[in-house]
Amino acid sequence: MKRILLIITSLVILSGCVTNDMSDLQAYVQKTKANYKGKVEPLPEFTTHPPYTYAAMDIRDPFKPVVDIEVFSGPYRGPRPDENRPREPLEDFSLDSLRMVGTLAQKESEWILIKDPDGLLHRVSIGHYMGKNYGKVTSINEEGVLLLELITDKKGGWEERKASIALSE
């Protein structure tokens, strides 16, 4: 019963809000239309261009290598690593992880002491190999060690590159 009374009261209140008089709205619309001098500019004319014809089919593909590796067929005469020699322990580490910590000399022989990342000391002399790029020790002195590494070039061959490790303090 209370519910029905509440619904009837709500409808009576809401019916008082409804009016069919829209004269104020119509006056506002007419005032706005009178003040509006709306002219829409016409769309610009677009000129059509002739279609582009791609004529570079005979030119080198920019996504292929400049040097054709097949041109270099035949026996390779450049430097190459010796794959038949046994690998040395220091070839498992990159050069930047190895530290030279000292030198040793006895009569005519000279060695350097290299510390690997595991903390082990290795005695190295000229002719030994170090690093992941087949680095061969070519010179030893009190300040450091010089190596000659072999790195692959873009033609499928090998290039020699000088590298060094300085004495760590």
Amino acid at 143: E
CB atoms within 10 A of CB 158: 18
Domain 86-166, CATH class in plain words:
mainly beta
* Domain spans in the chain, listed from the N-terminal domain onward: 86-166
Q: Is the pLDDT of residue 70 over 60?
A: no
> Stretch 36-65: mean pLDDT, rounded?
83
Distance CA 103, CA 126 (A): 12
> Stretch 11-35: mean pLDDT, rounded?
80
Beta strands in 5-157 (DSSP E): 99-106, 109-115, 121-124, 129-130, 135-140, 144-152
The pLDDT tens digits for 4-18 are 888 888 877 777 666
The pLDDT tens digits for 99-154 are 888 888 888 888 889 999 998 999 988 999 999 999 999 998 888 899 999 888 77
Q: Output the pLDDT for position 67.
A: 65
Q: Output the pLDDT for position 16.
A: 66
